Structure 1
Amino acid sequence: MDNILGNKDIEKTIDKYSNMLYRTCFLMLRNKQDAEDVMQETFISYMTSNMGFVSEEHKKAWLLRVSQNKCKNILRFHKAHAHTSYEELEETLPANAKILEEDVDELFRIAELSYNLKSVVMMYYIEGYSVKETAEILEIKTSAVKMRLKRAREILKITYEKVYEMGVN
């Protein structure tokens, strides 16, 4: 396979975006091995693409879109979602990442959302994209992004209320 991009660019891109891609893939797939596979496939796609990226944001959005499409393909083949314990989640984080128990609880609540809701929550709240940018990356309408964010917030609110009620009693 011919290397279309320079080695320095590939190494820089992998260093810069691997944690972000791993984090989003893991939350989408809830499986360390699948997340690693998607990351690897995404970077292979990057190395073999002839994309002319106009900016780093364009490159980041492209990597996210490719990884999300690969996650979606994997999820199509999995009928049942894997269960991930707190311990397994902590093992999958990069060595320099610090995570609090409250963060783990929040991540699991997000991970329990359907793919459509989870993808917009990840792009909007965690990666910091606007509604318009999220719509462009996921190739859906802005009204769909807004509605999915609204539904996700409603589901998360109900979940938090249930957890709060259990903790109070």
Structure 2
Amino acid sequence: MENDRQDTLARLMEEHGDRLYRLCLLLLRDPHLAEDAVQDTMLKAWRGLDSFEARASEKTWLTAIAVNVCRDYRRLYWYRKRLDGEALLEQIPAPPDAEPQDDGILRQVLALAPKYREPVLLYYWQELTVPEIAALLHEKENTVFTRLRRARAQLRETLKGWDDDG
């Protein structure tokens, strides 16, 4: 039984570890805290393996745990004191199938208020659906839709002329 749990946890880490690290790094803006958050996420997943009922996918379940761990980190005084501002974008590993991109959009997304940043990152970078995002953020679907719309409007405004050559 214990070996099954270890095998399951190893599989979860292998399948989802890089994605969770990217998410935690985007949310926390610190590579060391992101590593800690992924470890805490996996520890919580380990403890909750027996209660996982598969009502959601493993990806959604782990993402929800990771978002909550990152939120807990951000509430702590030492996190706010340690944060040096801008994320270390060059340290965010690209997804295996991703093409190189300009990080200007990501910088603007990271500058959004957390209530807008989280849904945008979950929708566009984690490729979760609005119902999945609503469930893991404990918000109504309409709230998530509204926050995505407002975030897009803010990004449209801040990125006006961003890709112009002249």
The TM-score range, normalised by the shorter chain, is 0.7 to 0.9
**Which residue is equivalent to 1:63?**
62
CA pair 114-133 structure 1, distance change in 2 beyond 3 A: same
Residue 158 of structure 2 corresponds to 159
SS in 2 for 1:83: coil
Q: What one-letter code is carried by the residue in structure 2 that aligns with 1:82?
A: D
1:15-54 equivalent positions in 2, closer than 5 A: 15-49=14-48, 50-54=50-54
Residue 100 in structure 1 maps to residue 95 in structure 2: no
Secondary structure at the counterpart of residue 133 of structure 2: helix
Residues 120, 145 of structure 1: 8 Å contact kept: yes
Identity score, percent: 23
Provide the rounded CA distance (Å) in 2 between the counterparts of 1:73 and 1:151. Answer: 25
Instruction: Indicate how the Cα distance of structure 1 residues 132 and 116 shifts in structure 2: closer, same or farther if over 3 A, else same.
Output: same
Q: Structure 2: where are the runs of 5+ without partners?
A: none
2:64/2:136 contact within 8 Å kept: yes
Q: 1:15 is aligned with what amino acid?
A: E
- For 2:122 and 2:114, the matched residues in 1 are separated by 12
Asked whether the 8 Å contact 1:31–1:84 carries over to 2, the reply is no
Segments of structure 1 that go 5 or more residues without pairing to the other structure are: none
Q: What is the letter of the counterpart of residue 40 of structure 2? A: E
Residues 124-147 of structure 1: per-residue CA shift (max 9 Å, x gap): 222222222211111101111011
Deviating more after overlay: 33-42 vs 129-138:
129-138
Superposition deviation, residue 98 in structure 1: 6.2
Change (3 A) 1:118 1:95: closer
Report which stretch shifted further, 154-163 or 64-73.
154-163
Q: CA deviation at 1:42?
A: 0.3
Q: How far apart in 2 are the matches of 1:150 and 1:156? A: 10
Count matched residues: 162
* Contact persistence 1:19–1:94 (CA under 8 A): no
Verify: 1:89 aligned to 2:89, yes or no.
yes
